Structure 1
Amino acid sequence: MKRPPALTAECFHPTVLNKLIVDFETETVLIEGLSDLGTSIIDLKQLDLHEAPEEFLLKLFDPAHARLICGFRNRYMRLFS
């Protein structure tokens, strides 16, 4: 079985972020548009980005990507808690 690609800032690039499809039944996000990585499914419960403080995200991602991640999680993450 092919291992899903690692979650990187590329996943939250504006051209990719608008292609996120949320499956509320399985609590996963399907990310499309990563042509070099293919399509991947990310389990939001396994993703600790929703618990990471914004200051920590700024160390991992550039500021624009960190803002996108924070905006996404602020808008949708409460639906999965």
Structure 2
Amino acid sequence: MNYERIMLDLITPIVDNKESLSVKVLPTLEDDEVLLNVYASSEDVARLIGRRGIMASSLRQMMSIASRTENKMITIKFESY
């Protein structure tokens, strides 16, 4: 499953600066774990996290639903530059 593509499809309509947006899947020690790093401008990261983390929680929940078919646990980190 292409987790980068799924995440990009979810967050691209939300951000203003679509060119600066990128998602990377990082390797982990566990086979059943996936680590996603979302890189965006500081304004867009604030928008993706949302007030009290509501948007981030929703994105994490949507990605966990997508990963259930492969029995994987998804960890998402938001980073600005």
Q: Larger strand proportion, structure 1 or 2?
A: 2
Q: Larger helix proportion, structure 1 or 2?
A: 2
Normalising by structure 2, what TM-score? 0.34
Normalising by structure 1, what TM-score? 0.34
Higher relative contact order (CA 8 A, sep 6+): 2
